With several copies, the nearest count.
Chain A
């Protein structure tokens, strides 16, 4: 796996020292080991009651505090079941972990309200829950993103959806384009990082030249991001929105993907983005083509 190139990236990078909460579970083990194979520095696992064991050489602890104290973990990847997920987040943050990536879906929304408020005040970075994680090609992969379909490059990709992210990354790769970092922020009503949080980092990231924003129906994060881009972002931004054909009042898989009354429609989001000059592709293929065109125009 690549170990050369710049060290910097957003959210995760070569300084990431990862602890996997739920490493001994089947998902935790599968993806934790994949992340390590990619080159991510997976320093520990945590499963209460399994302290002292190891998973293919990765030491397992009973608590995150031990993983931090003994292995210097600074980032946590969470695979524990939904009803224990916020406890796991609090545990990680209180142990001193500064970046938390929570893959778990179906975390109760009220619990996330409190967690969100708690961690924001502490300055902790959180991605998810119900997200695929973050990948900085050539540097580190934390989560479930299949890294082999992405290549190194300068496109920052941020998305509410996992598989749709892979689809667009795949289309970019087909066109010979690579990514600086891919962040799946998650499809729940309350997630730790918004489009704006990630776009702000891409804007500041010297390795990112262009930003692709992949939204979907529900909420108003895309509209807010459009306003933010208009005011604060100098790099080119392109977008894709899923759910043009979704009926109102139905949850489209993600708890956050629901058109309520007249708000949250894909059309409204597209309008808001286009109003500030962000082109919106009609299909994942088209958005990838728009990116390629833009790169052609710039280089």
Chain B
């Protein structure tokens, strides 16, 4: 789960990482009130879960409440890389002498947290890594050893930060960022830029945090940060139903079981000349209610012309899936063609259940490729 800048900064604040004072605003009037409360010049910042908001005009300096209101009006509603701005973070403006970069990420390759620090902040870290790799200090942390102060020292010396006051502040921030990362079950905690003000104060001017979905059960406070309104309504509906669903842009609705097989099904539909409408994984359960829920999600997409059920039973039992399909057809009166392919655990029973019921729009195919071709044909014919 990705956090907005303001949410990440709230997290930073809890761990003692210095951030600027600010207020959330969802209207221009709220932005004015925020500027009034903060006093002095403020920065009005679009809150969107994508990069490039600066270039897109999503970040503006305002010299006071009037200006903040006006700038907020201009930013709200902007479309930044497909994300419509509905929230603003209004924060006290900072003078910037230097821009650094600091992050800790979950390095799945090394299977260790990875710190990165560079004095070349304010730009994409990939760019620094490519153009000026020796400016980027990188250090892995052994997860059992945990954070040790020497690691922070290696980072600051490695990055060439030589001002003693900056060193001291950044050493402290590195330790706090690690705590934030581990104790929040984060996959990424990035500060870009980490600024130094003309007075020599170091603080986080931006935040980018991603939290492990699987650990949200122990972080109720973070879980409730999820912005339901900003998400794709179909994906939100799917989440509520407990269905793993990603909207794509075609006509063949796809329902597989297991992430790998579902991904492969999407690919095979493309190979068969079709355009997949979605990725949808029934998951390990696959009982009747699961099938009903998944079909409900898939059929809410108006583009869908045919549905391809691709099931290979492991934990999932094909007879249950078959019963789920019949139940769903019964409850939902789906008229569009449904192509079903069943194999694995209890596949024979499943096929028999479908053959016995034999609804008119149900087509059972013997192989994955056959079924994909049939689903594509039926979508194109519809």
Contacts and interface: CB of A to CB of B under 8 A. Distances in A.
Q: Do chains A and B touch in the complex (CB under 8 A)?
A: yes
Given A91-B150, A144-B315, A246-B266, A165 B260 contact: yes
Interface in A114-168: 114, 116-118, 132, 144-146, 149, 159-167
B185 interface: yes
Given A108-B214, A161-B261, A166-B344, 16 more contacts: A94-B150, A109-B106, A109-B185, A110-B185, A110-B215, A145-B314, A149-B344, A161-B260, A165-B260, A166-B343, A216-B260, A244-B267, A245-B263, A252-B279, A253-B281, A255-B214
Interface in B244-277: 244, 246, 248, 256-264, 266-271, 276
10 contacts: A83-B217, A107-B214, A108-B215, A110-B215, A146-B345, A167-B312, A170-B312, A217-B263, A245-B269, A253-B262
Contact of A88 (B144, B150, B276, B367): B150
Given A244-B267, A255-B214, A63 B154 contact: yes
Given A161-B259, A242-B260, A90 B109 contact: no
Contacts of B367: 285
A67 B262 CA distance: 38
For A105, A145, A164, the residue with the greatest tally of chain B CB atoms inside 10 Å of its CB is A164
Nearest to B213: A255
A253 B212 contact: no
For B108, B246, B270, B281, the residue with the greatest tally of chain A CB atoms inside 10 Å of its CB is B108
The 10 closest A-B pairs by CB, nearest first: A161-B260, A253-B259, A163-B258, A164-B260, A163-B261, A91-B150, A108-B215, A242-B263, A253-B281, A254-B259
A159 B260 contact: yes
Interface size class of A (residues with CB under 8 A): 35 or more
Given A65-B154, A83-B217, A144-B314, A250 B246 contact: yes
B60 interface: no
B138 to A, nearest CB: 12
B260 A247 contact: no
A111 B149 CA distance: 14
Given A146-B345, A261-B126, A162 B215 contact: no
A167 B264 contact: yes
Given A108-B215, A283-B271, A163 B248 contact: no
A51 interface: yes
A211 interface: no
Interface in A155-210: 159-167, 170, 187, 189-190
A132 B313 CA distance: 11
Interface string A256-278: 11000110001000000000000
B259 A216 contact: yes
Contact of B314 (A66, A163, A224): A163
Main secondary structure of the interface of B (DSSP, over half): mixed
A176 to B, nearest CB: 16
A245 B368 contact: no
Contacts of B164: 49
A282 B271 contact: yes
A162 B113 contact: no
B343 A243 contact: no
A62 interface: yes
Contacts of A106: 213-214
Interface in B73-130: 106, 108-109, 111-113, 126
A90 B345 contact: no
Nearest to B51: A261
Interface in B142-172: 142-145, 148-150, 153-154, 157, 164, 167
Contacts of A116: 111, 143
B142 A110 contact: no
A32 interface: no
B270 A132 contact: no
A162 B282 CA distance: 13
A292 interface: no
Contacts of A113: 106, 111-113, 143
B154 A246 contact: no
Given A245-B266, A245-B270, A110 B182 contact: yes
A117 B150 contact: no
Nearest to B285: A27
A219 B214 contact: no
A15 interface: no
Contacts of A83: 217-218
Interface in A1-52: 27, 31, 48-49, 51
A128 B266 CA distance: 25
For B270, B313, B315, the residue with the greatest tally of chain A CB atoms inside 10 Å of its CB is B315
A144 B313 CA distance: 10
Contacts of B218: 83, 108
Contact of B264 (A31, A105, A242): A242
A234 to B, nearest CB: 26
Contacts of A144: 314-315
Given A118-B145, A190-B111, A105 B284 contact: yes
B220 to A, nearest CB: 14
